[in-house]
A and B are shown apart, each in its own frame.
Chain A
């Protein structure tokens, strides 16, 4: 028998072994992380992320305090609606202004809570600040919040195993001159492992926990400042 026929078999066996090894690594690393314990380190993690991975947020917020921050996105339904409003002309000038800034946001976005203002920051493909929209305390006091489950990606297909790493979102709906504008607040910051961490499952999971602990706090703090945003 030609030994070349053995190559696919060897590759298959190696692949299965690698999967078993990574699953074992994943389970072992996961069992070492106690999310409750991690939550008690919120303040430390928040400062750490602001000083390192998300240092740009401080620059973009200039001198304004950052009380909490997390990931954000524009739901497809809002994008479509804004597109229509912008194409229709200026029936609602303020919403059209915001719409021009939000209609094509597919890159990383953030919410930053500063005092009683919510800042929506979108980035461009280079990761630099693209748009900065402030929703002031009067807009938030007239807004509503509802839990909306796992982030519905445009692709929409994820395995059950990876679902736990997808953000869960709250939908915040603002009233902009009698038109509604809904945006998503993620329960974590978006984490993409760097090439150096691809094989280091322990580090990946530790970072994911950190990103979640910091991100999920924003809604808690927001609700403590605005009773109208409390959800049952």
Chain B
């Protein structure tokens, strides 16, 4: 299914809810995957995605290059800890203090060329993305991103990918439960609400894919405001 139809379905179809959905803390944990799930028109409220096995296999293998349990564990661990990189904090400090960005980056980033270039490219991506998000009314000021960063994007993808890996047999239900709990705990370190989670997800996606976040913004609005959405009026 093309991306267009996925976004179209996400916008105009009913929210996908499993009749045998989770409740309480387990539901809270699975909701970390809600942005990605809604993008794929998958169930929002259960470990099972409701997608066909062929769709899940395509998503996991083609987009994530995950073919077995080892691949799955490697990428899931990476996504879970991606926001713990202390150098990224200096990139955000440089964005905040525009007139001194050169000095901040030079003084605090690793000096070997490859690593420095990696963080410099991140700085450049963020510099381009932030004005676009302000223009699209996702945020009103950079300061809104300073704490949340792109944690929602990393952890949201991690949680949904874990659900897919569970359905392909790469993870057991216990492992999935444990992993989703970890993504939920990690998300709370960065985001104070589900609204912040959606902003953070949109932010991360726009760093990766550039402007034109209309589809993602609409999905976030649906999740936050639709009466049938498990995220509506829910505390993180």
Contact = CB atoms under 8 A, between A and B. Distances in A.
Interface of A: 64, 94, 97, 115-116, 134, 136-138
Nearest to B100: A115
A116 B210 contact: no
B102 interface: yes
B120 A138 contact: yes
Contact of B102 (A94, A97, A116, A134): A116
Which 7 A/B pairs are nearest by Cβ-Cβ distance?
Answer: A137-B102, A138-B120, A115-B99, A116-B102, A134-B127, A136-B124, A97-B210
User: Chain B interface residue count: which class?
Assistant: 10 to 19
14 contacts: A94-B121, A94-B124, A97-B210, A115-B98, A115-B99, A116-B102, A134-B127, A134-B128, A136-B101, A136-B124, A136-B127, A137-B102, A138-B102, A138-B120
Nearest to A138: B120
Interface of B: 98-99, 101-102, 120-121, 124, 127-128, 210
Tell me what chain A mostly uses at the interface: helix, strand, loop, or mixed: mixed
Nearest to B105: A138
Given A64-B98, A94-B124, 9 more contacts: A94-B121, A115-B99, A116-B102, A134-B127, A134-B128, A136-B124, A136-B127, A137-B101, A137-B102
**Which of A97, A136, A137 is most buried by chain B, counting CB atoms within 10 A of its CB?**
A136
Nearest to A139: B124
Tell me what chain B mostly uses at the interface: helix, strand, loop, or mixed: helix
Contacts of A115: 98-99
A97 B210 CA distance: 9
Contacts of B127: 134, 136
B50 to A, nearest CB: 33
B189 to A, nearest CB: 30
Nearest to A136: B124
Contacts of B98: 64, 115
A13 to B, nearest CB: 60
A64 B101 CA distance: 14
Nearest to A62: B131
A10 to B, nearest CB: 60
B126 to A, nearest CB: 12
Contacts of B124: 94, 136
Contacts of A116: 102
Contacts of B102: 116, 137-138
Contacts of A137: 101-102
Contacts of A134: 127-128
Contacts of B99: 115
Contacts of A136: 101, 124, 127
A214 to B, nearest CB: 23
Contacts of A138: 102, 120
A17 to B, nearest CB: 56
A134 B128 CA distance: 9
A180 B99 CA distance: 27
Nearest to B120: A138
A115 B99 CA distance: 7
Contacts of B120: 138
A137 B127 CA distance: 13
A177 to B, nearest CB: 9
A97 B120 CA distance: 17
